[in-house]
Amino acid sequence: MAVTTTTHLNFRGDARPALEFYRSVFGGDLAAVTYKDAGNIEEESDQVMWGQVRADNGFHVMAYDVPSRMSFDRGENPFFVSVRGETVDEVTGYWDKLCDGATIVIPMGPAGWSLAYGMLRDRFDIVWVVDVVSEYS
């Protein structure tokens, strides 16, 4: 028996554009079910009830739009999405694409524990940590 974990991101109306953006960065397939698709007709019927991007390189993220009838407060730094690769070139490619519209928290560069490390807040207000796997990972 195996257990896997997948980052599940919650949005307020931005799930589809966020998933499309992440697919443009990491590749893979995007699947999305709207509230309308599931027979739930409400004012947010075209928003995402369940969505994901899954890529052959191992990237997998899920997302949905929190309905307006439910409270939603992302808070301050409630989580980071961590992307780890085996080479500087690999993670730099992802970093460069994630930078589109992002605020850089820590610029990509060598760190005491990794050949490359960086942190940014993307245009959807999600904080990403991108680094190269090290002996401490």
Q: How many domains does the chain have?
A: 2
- Check which CATH number belongs to the domain holding 16 and give it: 3.30.720
Provide the pLDDT for residue 137: 46
One domain, residues 20 and 50? yes
Residue 71 forms part of a structural domain: no
Domain of residue 48: give its range: 7-65
Tens digit of each residue's pLDDT (9 = 90 or more) over 88-107: 999 999 999 999 999 999 99
> Can you tell me the mean pLDDT for 21-50?
90
User: What one-character-per-residue DSSP string does the chain give?
Assistant: ------EEEEESS-HHHHHHHHHHHH--EEEEEETTTTT--STTTTSEEEEEEE-TTS-EEEEEEPPTTS-----SS---EEEEESSHHHHHHHHHHHTTT-EEEEEEEEETTEEEEEEEE-TTS-EEEEEE--TT-
Q: Are residues 92 and 57 in the same domain?
A: no
**Edge-first strand listing for the sheet containing 7-11:** 7-11, 60-65, 48-54, 29-34
**Judgement on whether residues 15 and 50 belong to the same structural domain of the protein:** yes
pTM: 0.85
Residues 60 and 86 in one domain: no
Question: Minimal CA–CA distance to 93: which of 130, 123, 62, 120?
Answer: 130
Q: Report how far residue 68's alpha carbon sits from residue 82's, in angstroms, rounded to the nearest whole number.
A: 28
Kindly report, residue by residue over 41-77, the tens digit of the pLDDT.
777 889 999 999 999 999 999 999 998 888 888 887 7
Tell me: do 85 and 60 sit in the same domain: no
Q: What is the pLDDT of residues 102-121, one digit of tens each?
A: 999 999 999 888 899 999 99
CATH number of 127's domain: 3.30.720.110
16 plus 58 within the same structural domain: yes
For residue 101, is it within any domain?
yes
User: Closest Cα partner for 53 from 74, 32, 80?
Assistant: 32
Tens digits of residue pLDDT in 7-19: 999 999 999 999 9
Residues 29, 60 within the same domain? yes
Q: Are residues 22 and 61 in the same domain?
A: yes
Classify residue 86: in a domain, yes or no.
Answer: yes
